[in-house]
């Protein structure tokens, strides 16, 4: 059974990806301050650091939202759409964090974005569009 990609599901995908990216940034921020700590102390310090805790919470949110996404659309649609992750990360590091992003990475990210749009556009079409039409 094929279901159309409705706006509500698209919002769920975006939310799942946004929380996942936030989780990665928060965890990296939290752990980077602990690079000199080792052993058991690393874990106790990490698990009481606000950014690490917020990052873990964001991961839980992202996973729960992802389960909701999977309940609503096929995996062969949801998985490609999740690569929005790379688009967010590249855009964030380039425009917000002001890191130098190589041109080739912009080009690759743009190709990924086109792929996402192709998948999403296809799912917005009639739900019964047959395979033979191509």
DSSP per-residue letters across the chain: ------HHHHHHHHHHHHHHHHHHHHHHHHHHTTTT--HHHHHHHHTT-HHHHHHHHHHHHHHHHHHHHHHHS-HHHHHHHTTHHHHHHHHIIIIIS-PPPPHHHHHHHHHHHHHHHHHHHHHHS-TT--GGG-
- Residue 33 interacts with another protein (CB under 8 A): yes or no: no
Q: How many residues bind another protein (CB under 8 A)?
A: 45
Which residue, 66 or 88, has its beta carbon nearer to another protein? 66
- Residue 43 interacts with another protein (CB under 8 A): yes or no: no
The contact set with another protein (CB under 8 A) reads 2, 8, 63, 66-68, 70-72, 74-80, 83, 86, 90, 102-105, 107-123, 125, 129, 131, 133-134
């Amino acid at each position: 059974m094929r279901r159309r990609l409705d706006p509500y599901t698209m919002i769920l995908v975006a939310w799942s990806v946004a929380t996942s990216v936030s989780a990665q940034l928060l965890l990296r921020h939290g752990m980077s301050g602990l690079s000199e700590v080792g052993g058991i102390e690393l874990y106790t310090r990490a698990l009481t650091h606000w950014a690490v805790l917020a990052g873990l919470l964001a991961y839980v949110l992202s996973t729960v939202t992802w389960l909701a996404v999977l309940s609503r659309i096929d995996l062969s649609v949801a998985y490609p759409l999740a690569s929005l992750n790379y688009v967010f990360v590249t855009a964030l590091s380039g425009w917000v964090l002001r890191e130098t992003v190589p041109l080739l990475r912009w080009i690759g990210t743009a190709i990924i974005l086109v792929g996402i749009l192709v998948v999403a556009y296809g799912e917005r079409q009639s739900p019964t569009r047959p395979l033979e039409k191509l």
